Chains A and B, each alone.
Chain A
């Protein structure tokens, strides 16, 4: 079955810096890769996703890149703000199936 690894487990940046979180997956059949942001005491919030027919997708300060050959995908946050502080999860799935999640990255943005 699918296995998703996520790095780093914690990431501290200064406000205004960029943050990059990386994930790898094992199942070449996976074709959908969402990223979720989870704030304390809340459910995960879908922030961006990418499908396997696309190499990069941007939404304002957030971008995701996908390298299907290497089975890598990454989340890039530019101009970080304190409100970006949260736990971020990557996930992978092959269509309308269960999401397999990475172990999460705790991002701390210091003012």
Chain B
């Protein structure tokens, strides 16, 4: 299947610093990518939809100034957690939809391996 690469896999930072997470679609172009957050023992929660060449769409309750999303190309979206605090510690996962395969009109959404963010 299609591959979505996410980097870094783990990051530890001090409170107040900013952290950038990259999400790349390796073998397909993705006009739309998605960012999720997952706390321990919980399900994935959609944070925002990243659109190539335009502003991201954030879910209710997600601070757009804190979680900066940039989707500058058809294969790369970045999530920057600005001025990170301990409560931002979580598992962040990106995904992208590959529209090439499957039945006509059916797309498959592929996920990155995730980034474990720990803010001290």
A, B from the same assembly:
no
List B residues at the A interface (Cβ < 8 Å): none
On A, residues with C-beta under 8 Å from B are: none
